[in-house]
């Protein structure tokens, strides 16, 4: 019984860390993965570095983005935000 009381604070700390740090990170990673797989040609996007463009081609892990100055090849994970849905909501 005394041993359980000694380890209770450590168990409680682990539970708190799991629910406030580990679980939200896993959820965010899952959402980002779903976002990356849902991309399609023609979507208007913003990269994590702030480049705006439209998806011209898709590959397994890369994407070719058409910008005003030309085409860029980037990793799918570099895409931060998809603007097509947001733009369609504003016009509707």
pLDDT tens for the chain, 92 residues: list them. 678 788 888 999 998 998 899 899 999 889 888 888 888 999 999 998 889 999 999 998 999 999 999 999 999 889 987 776 665 666 55
Structure tokens at 92: 């509707």
57, 64 in Cβ contact below 8 A? yes
Other CB atoms within a 10 A radius of the CB of residue 19 amount to 10
Strand order through the sheet with 44-47? 70-75, 62-67, 52-58, 44-47, 79-82
Full-model pTM: 0.64
């Amino acid at each position: 019984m005394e041993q359980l009381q000694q380890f209770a604070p450590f168990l409680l700390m682990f539970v708190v860390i799991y629910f406030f740090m580990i679980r939200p990170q896993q959820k965010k990673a899952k959402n980002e993965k779903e976002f990356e797989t849902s991309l399609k040609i023609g979507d208007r996007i913003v990269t994590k570095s702030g480049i705006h463009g439209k998806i011209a081609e898709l590959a397994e892990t890369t994407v070719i983005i058409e910008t005003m100055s030309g085409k860029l090849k980037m990793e799918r994970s570099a895409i931060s935000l998809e603007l097509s849905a947001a733009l369609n909501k504003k016009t509707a």
